[in-house]
Amino acid sequence: MSLIEVKELTKVYDDGEVKTPVLHGVSFSIEKGEFVAIMGPSGSGKSTLLHLLGFLDDYTDGSYLFGGQDARTYTGDEIAHIRNKKLGFIFQSFNLLPHATVLENVRLPLLYSDIPESEWDILALKAIESVGLGHRSSFDSSQLSGGERQRVAIARALVCSPEVILADEPTGNLDSKSGGAVIEILQKLNEKDGHTIILITHETYTAEHAKRILRIKDGLLESDTTVASPHRTNSGMLLK
């Protein structure tokens, strides 16, 4: 049984006057522990697809199975639990609270978990240290560089120990060195910690750090290829 399986998935946005088709019958499966890049130009439908996989939006037609169960059979409470415990999200724009500390930002998902409050700081600090930012835990996120903010976003995604990390253009706002450090963290999370990584990108070089590339064009799955030798980063960042 695949962790994720989509069949003939379609998405049409309908504002009541205009219908805008975005996905046109996409089918693929992802196994637990894979590192998959979904690649395509702007407007290809890749971010829409990620939102569907992350239960952030509903599809129009087709089917989506998560953990062997039809996504539409989950209750609202079950979906909230999946988003909190099984999925971690990383976005291009970081989505951090600018006047909250690194520790406070990383703790946020724990507010909606069933984990005792007495453990929140311990878990958050562990996640922060895992991305090499233990010395920045008391800094406001507004005081950090772009690369550091994205690493905080990764720590926040990790704090509830999700099975799957969904990363939407995580290097899009970063310079090459900072972007390399972010990709290095994602590779470590996949190879050493066993997280399933789904990475959205329009950059070929970034996609080739994954082990498999799905190419989306005009809302269609154009190709599904295995990367024989994924690129290794050389950011110089020491990871714990």
Measured distance CA(136)–CA(124) in Å, rounded: 12
What pTM did the predictor assign? 0.91
What value, to the nearest 5°, has the Cα angle with vertex 222 and ends 221 and 226?
95
| Residues in contact with 127: Cβ distance below 8 Å, sequence separation at least 6, in sequence order | 106, 155, 156, 158, 159
**SS3 (DSSP) at 104:** helix
pLDDT tens, 24-77?
999 999 999 999 999 999 889 999 999 999 999 999 999 999 999 999 999 999
179-197 confidence digits (pLDDT tens):
999 999 999 999 998 999 9
Tell me the two tokens of residue 36.
């998959």
Pairwise CA distance, residues 160 & 87, whole Å: 9
Q: How many CA atoms lie within 13 A of 79 on its CB side?
A: 15
In this prediction, residue 232 carries a pLDDT of: 76
- DSSP annotation of 14: E
Q: Residue 234 above 70 pLDDT? A: no
As a whole number of angstroms, the distance between CA 166 and CA 183 comes to 13
Q: What is the phi/psi pair of residue 94, to 5°?
A: 75, -45
**Position 153, amino acid:** A
Rounded Cα distance, 177 and 7, in Å: 38
